[in-house]
Amino acid sequence: MAQVLEFKLPDLGEGLTEAEIVRWLVSVGDVVAVDQPVVEVETAKAMVEVPCPYGGVVTARYGEEGTELPVGAPLLTVAVGASEPSDASDTAPAPATAATPRAAAPAPAAAPAPGPTPARASASASASDEASGNVLVGYGTGAPAARRRRVRRAPLSASPAAPALVREPVNGAAGPVPVVSPLVRRLAREHGVDLRGLTGTGRDGLILRCDVEQAIHRGATQAPSAVSAPAPATAPAPVMAPTASPAPAPAPAAASPSARPGVTRVPLRGVRGAVADKLTRSRREIPDATCWVDADATELLAARRAMNAAGGAKISLLAVFARICTAALARHPELNSTVDLAAREIVRLPEVHLGFAAQTDRGLVVPVVRDAQARSAESLSAEFARLTEAGRSGTLTPGELTGGTFTLNNYGVFGVDGSTPIINHPEAAMLGIGRIVPKPWVHEGELAVRQVVQLSLTFDHRVCDGGTAGGFLRYVADCVEQPAVLLRTL
């Protein structure tokens, strides 16, 4: 007899609490194998395929394409041990085509534990061959061989495994609220809920979406009672005949902006929503400043042409600037850091994980090149090309979009000279590169036409002062004008 197992949206990692169904890869009645991808979802980080840990016949799907589901919400049910589709009335509690409304979706709880849920536990003994347990982050089935265990990391300040981190005390605001998801912060902000007054039910006091929704519900139930509270008992007032009075004319209602013809509303979710939340947080928390300088890039372009003419892998201009950046950060490590508000410290980081802004059809993404300080120009070129192609095809993983320590932004590809970019929170700085164009320039005492580029550095003023930022930018400009300067640091 077939056993019907329910597969829920698993923990997608990186603090993500919900995902949007982009495309179903199976239909009701299809036979699926263990670990076969069954649905494509888009999170605030990337688009991923979700594999099903069970093998059998799909009996129901929950949620149509375009529906947002929280982590832990049912995705589909599978009849394990069945060779053909079962009767829907016996296998599925709801029609296969029924979409799960976002408002009715269950609130996400803490990250699912590696162990089986009660529904899976009852079937694990007899269906261990049909379940792999290998479903993304921290989510498993009843298969004992695939159990996963999460290790809680010690705080950075107490970790003996990271001696290269340098911490400095910094003056700032009080510690941050224990909230990971920007969606939870947005929900609280939209309903006027003070997160500092909530006690999180998640691990280590983490505030979850369900905590905010409960606070919203409590506020909604308390408001009517305060208005309708009975007045204290007093002597009855004399009865008077009602006096007819004309009702005031209703004020004309202002037309809603969305009611006007031609208005289009675009939901802020997925990658676009994640970018909006991150940029808003950066503007709110980071006191940034920008300095810029024009540099003669004629010699740099000539050096790059010579390197590419020598044979071997082609070196991109972005890779050359990345190599200059890593050398500049070695001389000015203050800019390769982050601010720990809870500990009131500046944390200087030993590795340079270099992010770079890439425009795709799905919006702006910032892939990260790991350990850029240890890579050659050829290696940087290859990694930039790989991550850019993955960004355009929508196959970047959450790990490739997080963990950056410094960002390079080549907005010159859009044909503009300068910009004051917003820092990619929680980093401390971003270098912007404008277009390289021929301009009149004084070269060796004479007016000449040279290839000129404008460089801008936006930095967190908490981690350093203008002298450090100016020294970093001046060194970058010197390497652009005289590439031989870079050789002294290699």
383 contacts 248 by C-beta, under 8 angstroms: no
373 contacts 329 by C-beta, under 8 angstroms: yes
427 contacts 407 by C-beta, under 8 angstroms: yes
457 contacts 430 by C-beta, under 8 angstroms: yes
Q: Write out pLDDT tens, residues 434-489.
A: 999 999 999 999 999 999 999 999 999 999 999 999 999 999 999 999 998 887 66
For residue 39, give the 3-state DSSP assignment. strand
**For the chain, which residues score pLDDT lower than 50?**
84-130, 133-134, 136-163, 172-174, 224-244
- Distance (Å, whole) CA 242 – CA 109: 56
Residue 414's CB is within 10 A of a number of other CB atoms, namely 10
Domains of the chain: 3-146 (2.40.50.100), 165-221 (4.10.320.10), 287-487 (3.30.559.10)
124 contacts 116 by C-beta, under 8 angstroms: yes
Residue 294's CB is within 10 A of a number of other CB atoms, namely 15
Q: Write out pLDDT tens, residues 263-313.
A: 988 888 777 787 788 889 999 999 999 999 999 999 999 999 999 998 888
Token digits of residue 425: 């929170």
328 contacts 360 by C-beta, under 8 angstroms: no
How far from 34 is each of 52, 124, 129, 133, 145, CA to CA, in Å?
Answer: 6, 14, 9, 9, 14
Q: Give Rg (Cα) of the chain.
A: 29
For position 346, what pLDDT does the model report? 96
291 contacts 469 by C-beta, under 8 angstroms: yes
What are the backbone dihedrals phi and psi of residue 168, each rounded to the nearest 5 degrees, phi first?
-125, 140
78 contacts 58 by C-beta, under 8 angstroms: yes
Positions annotated as catalytic residues are: 461
* Closest CA relative to residue 295, chosen from 421, 439, 468, 447: 439
For position 140, what pLDDT does the model report? 41
Beta strands in 301-405 (DSSP E): 337-340, 345-348, 354-356, 358-360, 363-365, 368-369
First to last CA, the chain: 69
**pTM higher than 0.75 for the full model?**
no
How far from 196 is each of 17, 77, 177, 181, 193, CA to CA, in Å?
Answer: 20, 39, 6, 15, 9
